[in-house]
Amino acid sequence: MKRLFILLLISTFSSVFAQSPTNFNGTYTINKSKTDFRTDAGQAPDWVLPVKFKVTQSGNNVTIVRTIVDDRGVQSDRTYIFAGDTPSDITTAKGSKIHTTLQWNADKTAFTLDTKIADIDPQSSENFTEVWSLNNDSKLLVLDRNEEQLGNGLKYHIKGYYEKN
């Protein structure tokens, strides 16, 4: 009986002290005046970063709707669903396969998205890693992105700033 009580007590304290992840719920729009699109390879076009994110989160379950505008000005949304440690796999209308994993940092204040895009045209395939964190009382999403375009070998780093709506 004493052992059961001790195990119950340890279990209770473990769950109380377990860190819950930072709450990223909300809609965030890029602030182009804060975002520096210069890279080692020169000035990147502003369409390389999404214009908006909508995040719905319940604990470790995260859904991200990424709004992108391509080089022709066409806007589209992609929805990434992460249930705990389950990666998000998407096949686009053009047939590209997008595989993304979400990994929380140790103190659960930020997370990393690791994305691999296998395009039908291998020249358009790319890999990128984004570290997401919140600043200014969770009103500013900072997106630290490293990208490698596999077709041309171009690598670059951009830090994007998104205001919470």
More confident residue, 158 or 9: 158
What pLDDT digit, counting tens, does each position of 142-157 carry? Answer: 999 999 989 888 899 9
**Of 78, 102, 81, whose CA–CA distance to 92 is shortest?**
78
Residue whose C-alpha is closest to residue 90's, from 76, 77, 101, 79: 79
Q: What is the pLDDT confidence band of residue 17, given thresholds at 50, 70 and 90?
A: very low
Q: In the chain, what are the domain boundaries?
A: 2-164
Q: Is the predicted pLDDT of residue 12 greater than 50, yes or no?
A: no
Q: Are 36 and 161 in contact (CB under 8 A)?
A: no
Side chain identity at 70, as an amino acid letter?
Answer: D
Residues 6+ away with beta carbon under 8 Å from 159: 35, 36, 142, 143, 144, 145
Tokens of 2: 């004493």
Question: Regarding beta strands 155-164 and 38-39, do their DSSP bridges make them parallel or antiparallel, or are they unpaired?
Answer: unpaired
The matching CATH number, chosen from 3.30.450.20, 3.40.50.10300, 2.40.128.20, 3.40.462.10, for 2-164 is 2.40.128.20
**Where does the pLDDT of residue 2 fall: very low under 50, low under 70, confident under 90, or very high at 90 and above?**
low
Residue 142: name the closest of 114, 110, 116, 115 by CA: 110
Does the pTM exceed 0.95? no
Tens digit of each residue's pLDDT (9 = 90 or more) over 27-39: 999 999 999 888 8
Which has the closest alpha carbon to 142: 132, 153, 150?
Answer: 132
